[in-house]
Structure 1
Amino acid sequence: MASATAPPDAGSTACVLDREGLGALVRELHARGRTVIGPTVRDETIALAELESADELPYGWGVEHEAGYYRIRRRSDTAAFAHSAGPQSWKYFLHPERVRQWTADRDPEGRMTVRAERSEPPSFAFLGVRPCDLRAIQIQDRVMTGGAHRDDAYRARRSGAFLIVVECTEPGATCFCVSMDTGPAARPGYDLALTEVVDEAGHRFLARAGTEEGAEVLASLPRQPADDLTRTRAREGVEAAAGRMGRTMPEVDLRALLAGTLEAERWNDVAARCLTCGNCTMACPTCFCTTAEDVTDLTGDHAERWRRWESCYDLEFTHLPGGSVRSSGRSRYRQWLTHKLGTWWDQFGSSGCVGCGRCIVWCPVGIDITEEAHALHREGERQAGGKDEAS
């Protein structure tokens, strides 16, 4: 596997786009019938939304965030992608939070007609996907399209999506993608990859194609051959970002750590702080759980079934005739963390965490997944040391 600090591919296929070239990229995607989604300033956040032009990108905006804290701020340059993960992830578009599955109508004679919801999804182009979020999309691909229980609606949205990754050159205070081996350099799976460079030579993007369609799109844009200075600055920016992560995970087998600390006292500590609100699961780019919700009109002649996101923090999530399986906050937080970092491997062959840090930022009480992992590791070491001394 490539190193997290591996430099961008700046070989013969690389070229340079300027700001006008980025605008041409958005226009070309529209001309190809794509719905372009990218970051923009909205509601005091850098949010993901449909873009009519590249002018809507957050040029000159960055973010400040910590555990339970998020603010946008003005930058001293015009960078468009010098901000870390915002409140949304791309699952809002690939795995929407609420989807109607069918409708049922009863006519005056009492006959019932049920119609499955069938709608053609947009042909998406995602502009500004971070390497950690690219990995999150790949994890959701495995969950939603692998195995016996495939999600055809997800597959329809995902199969046509055009992914433009922007490598990270300015990680946030809660980022830890290096620990999860998901960034800050782009890995295979993108159609186009960009590395933003802003220096005395100007504002530009080192661009590389990862697919045939990506190469076609790139060939249609005004561009320049990749020069040595741009290649060097792009490589240095990504390498520097790898050394400036705001958080780390303990350098241990996290799967084994979580399996070996199920009765740790630390779970009581976090339970005293956790509100079991589910914000972390809503913000997480890989959490995928859903439930079904049936609604009717006042006459009872029209009914609908909706699928909506659900959270393992909800008491009803594991409700059986005898009551909730996980009635305590301790058990529900433990379920989330052990699944995310541990038993996800058993189900899907990878970790469920990509190191984006969203769960830390959007937790209203600032619970930090990396802090909890380090605390569990320390407690496990203390217990192991005590056993050695006793023996």
Structure 2
Amino acid sequence: MPEAVKERFVLSVEGLEALLVALRGDGWRLMGPTVRDGAIDHAEIRGVVDLPRGMTEVQEAGTYRLARREDGALFGYSVGPRSWKHLLFLPKLRLFRAHRQEEGFQVEPESTEPPRLALIGARSCDLHAIAVQDRTFLEGPYKDPDYAARRERLFVVAVNCGQAGGTCFCVSMKTGPRVTSGFDVALTELLEGGHRFLAEPGSERGAALLARVGAVPAGEPDARAADAVVERTARSMGRAMDTTDIKELLYRNLEHPRWDNVAERCLGCTNCTLVCPTCFCSTVEDTTDLLGGVAERWRRWDSCFTLDHSHLHGGSVRHATRSRYRQWLTHKVASWWDQFGTSGCTGCGRCITWCPVGIDITEEVAAIRATDGARPGA
């Protein structure tokens, strides 16, 4: 039996504003794209007025800049430097605070009531990344309570990509550009024949919201136009990665000379892991005040590119840049499958754009594939 066609609706720009106003009225804090510090970044917004109207991005390996579009598109870009990870897996989180008492310490537990966030403009690659982090933090034998609390308090207004970035390769990873899951409302921005949005509900509360703001059923021309937007984006990917048997490819090439080649260029700066929407390395720090009366334990982001991250008794087990880059790439697209049953890469391209020396994960995989089994001196 063919799949049932989901009902689609049309929203004007004014209708989108009404949707955002309704979300704010329901107590949701709106987090969406806005121009800040020379980039399109996620921050708190008030409504349509704060969206990056008429702005886009030009991205290449080691290169990012904003540019003007010739239209008034509100979502006419691909992905900015930050995913939604920093809102769910906080860069710095206090785990507990303890006060010295006459006999021992009194522990002050942390609050587990995070804000209710509405993610505005979430892209398919980033929603797949959230699903990957769900496996990391929620689906194993131990659940992360802070992540779980934040994850439960989300409303997602997704956007199907109308433009691929120069470093995007989500088609290769089967993670975009069309949003398929993890959303309450999905929008496709249409510019020809009037500025409007095709809206698709992904949950009961999303359908209820569209009904409240007066979304009207979409006709066949608008539905076809929206499909054409996504198909055009899929054909214009800036990058591609051949993932055929990629786990086995990397496992049998752990001593490939390409690791030495990339190590000569890699700065070990950790940018790739910080912008990656799925990387989850962290460390724990204990601090006390000068009098020893108050102690705190903090969790903060870390990176497998730092020397201390793999420190065991006697020193780091990955003392060379070569081994640290190999660990990152091999874990991302190979051993992640063994741990979580999925790839750790969603093809967003941020690691390529924000690498200061332009190291390209798709290029590195292709180079290893081109000389599969090569050894030094071979």
- Residue 157 of structure 2 corresponds to 164
**Aligned twin of 1:140:** 133
Q: CA deviation at 1:222?
A: 2.7
Task: Give me the CA root mean square deviation.
Answer: 1.7
**Paired position in structure 2 for 1:22:** 16
Query: In the alignment, which residue of structure 2 is the partner of 1:229?
Result: 221
1:329 equivalent among 307, 321, 334: 321
- Residue 3 of structure 1 is matched in structure 2 by none
**Distance in 1 between residues matched to 2:339 and 2:374, nearest whole Å:** 30
Cα deviation for residue 299 of structure 1 reads 1.9
Give yes or no for the alignment of 1:289 onto 2:281: yes
The answer for the alignment partner of 1:89 in structure 2 is 83
SS at match of 2:297: strand
Unaligned runs of 5+ in 1: 1-8, 387-391
- Does the residue aligned with 1:341 lie in a helix, a strand or coil? helix
- The residue type equivalent to 1:227 in the other structure is G
Mapped contact 1:10–1:226 kept (Cα < 8 A): no
Aligned residue type for 1:85: V
Could you tell which deviates more after superposition, 373-382 or 256-265? 373-382
**Does the 8 Å contact 1:10/1:231 carry over to 2?**
no
Contact 1:176–1:248 (CA under 8 A) maintained in structure 2: yes
Question: Is contact 2:256–2:373 with CA below 8 Å preserved after alignment?
Answer: no
- Alpha-carbon shift at residue 225 of structure 1 (Å): 2.2
Deviation at 1:137, TM superposition (A): 0.6
Query: Aligned partner of 2:265: which letter?
Result: R
Residue 389 of structure 1 is matched in structure 2 by none
Q: 1: distance between equivalents of 2:268 and 2:348? A: 21
Does 2:179 match 1:183?
no
4+ long deviations beyond 6 Å: none
Report matched runs for 1:20-99 at 5 Å: 20-99=14-93
Shift in Å, 1:117? 1.1
Q: Distance in 1 between matches of 2:174 and 2:268?
A: 29
Question: What code does the residue aligned with 2:319 have?
Answer: S
1:368-387 mapped onto 2 (5 Å cutoff): 368-380=360-372
SS at match of 1:193: strand
Does the Cα contact within 8 Å between 1:10 and 1:208 map onto a contact in 2?
no
Structure 2 matches for 1:202-241, cutoff 5 A?
202-241=194-233
What is residue 348 of structure 1 aligned with on the other side? 340
For 1:313 and 1:251, the matched residues in 2 are separated by 24
Specify every segment of 5 or more residues in structure 2 that has no aligned partner in the other structure, as ranges.
none
The reply on whether 1:254 has 2:246 as its aligned counterpart is: yes
* Shift, 1:105, TM fit: 1.5
Q: Is residue 118 of structure 1 aligned with residue 111 of structure 2?
A: yes
CA-to-aligned-CA distance 1:237-257 (integer Å, 9 cap, x gap): 100111100000025221111
Q: How far has the Cα of 1:158 moved from its partner?
A: 0.3
Q: Which amino acid aligns with 1:274?
A: C
The corresponding residue for 1:305 is: 297
Tell me, what secondary structure is at the counterpart of 1:165? Answer: strand
Give the deviation of 1:322 after TM superposition.
1.2
Cα displacement string for residues 93-152 of structure 1 (whole angstroms, at most 9, x for unaligned residues): 011100111111125x46521112124101111111101111001111111101112101
Aligned residues: 375
Q: TM-score, normalised by structure 1?
A: 0.93
Provide the secondary structure at the position in 2 that maps to 1:380: coil
Quote the Cα distance in structure 1 between the aligned partners of 2:216 and 2:205: 19
Q: Which of 368-377 and 287-296 deviates more?
A: 287-296
Query: Is residue 363 of structure 2 the alignment partner of residue 362 of structure 1?
Result: no
8 Å contact kept, 2:257–2:374 = no
What SS does the corresponding residue of 2:106 show, helix, strand or coil?
strand
For each residue in 1:324-374, what CA deviation from the matched residue of structure 2 results, as whole angstroms up to 9, or x when unmatched? 000000000000000000000000000000000000011111100000010
TM-score (normalizing by structure 2): 0.96
Tell me the CA shift for residue 174 of structure 1.
0.1
CA distance in 1, matches of 2:158, 2:220: 21
The one-letter amino acid paired with 1:264 is H
Quote the sequence identity (%).
51
Task: Give per-residue Cα distances to partners, 1:204-228, cap 9 Å, x unaligned.
Answer: 1000101111111111113232122
Q: Is the 8 A contact 2:53 2:72 kept in 1?
A: yes
